[in-house]
A = this chain, B = another copy of it.
Amino acid sequence: MNEPARRPSADNPIRETDDDARALARQLMADAQFAAVAVLELETGMPLVSRVAVAVEADGSPFVLASDLSGHSRALARDGRASLLFGEPGPKGDPLTHPRVTVIGRIEKLERGDPQHAARRDFWLKKHPKSKLYVDFGDFHFWRMKVERANLNGGFGKAYELTAEDLRQAGA
C-alpha cells in the first residue's frame, strides 16, 4: 500500500457509500443524453453492447426509446437483464479518470397504451427534441429499467456499490 488514500486494498476495493457518491451517480444519470446498454444477445447469449438515447424518471428509473428491430430490443423482449453505462468523458485527459456509473437491472417494454405514455413522450421530447422525427414510428417503443443496483466509479480507484434507493432523487 504505497498510496492508501487513492488505492484501496485488493481485499476491499469498494468505498463506503456517502451522500457525495449518491449525488454524483444521480448527476451522471440526469446529465446523460445517451448511454451504452449491455444485453444478452438473442441467438447466442453473448454480452452485446450498443448505444441508446436515454432519460431518467424522478424515481431513478432510466428509460430508453428504441426500435423493435434493433438487436438490443429483440434481446430484451426475451430476457430483460441489462446494464446501462452513464457518464461520458470529454475529448481530453485519461478517460478512466472520468466518473461513470453502471446501472444494473431488468428492462421492460412499455406499450403505447400505458397511461403514462403521453407524459413520458413529452418528457422525452424535451430532452431529445430531434427524436420527434421517429418517436411515433410504429416500431419505436419506450423501455424502462427496474433498477437493482449500480457500480459507481468516481475516477481511478474510487469505486462504490449503490442500491436502487441511492439513485432516487430526493422527494421522489
Cα(A82)–Cα(B49), bound, Å = 9
Cβ contact within 8 Å between A10 and B69:
yes
Contact size range, A: 35 or more
* Chain A binding surface SS class: strand
Cα(A144)–Cα(B96), bound, Å = 18
Cβ contact within 8 Å between A89 and B10:
no
What does the 1/0 interface line of A38-50 toward B look like (CB < 8 Å)?
1111000011111
Cβ contact within 8 Å between A34 and B95:
yes
Cβ contact within 8 Å between A53 and B83:
no
| Other contacts beyond A34-B89, A48-B83, A51-B96: 18, CB < 8 A | A10-B69, A13-B69, A33-B89, A34-B96, A37-B49, A46-B81, A46-B83, A47-B82, A47-B83, A49-B83, A50-B85, A50-B100, A51-B89, A51-B153, A53-B94, A53-B96, A94-B128, A134-B156
Q: Which residues of A contact B (CB under 8 A)?
A: 10, 13, 33-34, 36-41, 46-53, 69, 71, 81-85, 88-89, 93-96, 100, 102, 104, 128, 130-131, 134, 139, 151, 153, 156
Q: List 16 A-B contacts (CB under 8 A).
A: A34-B89, A36-B38, A36-B85, A37-B49, A38-B47, A38-B83, A46-B81, A46-B83, A47-B47, A48-B83, A49-B85, A50-B100, A50-B153, A71-B151, A88-B88, A93-B130
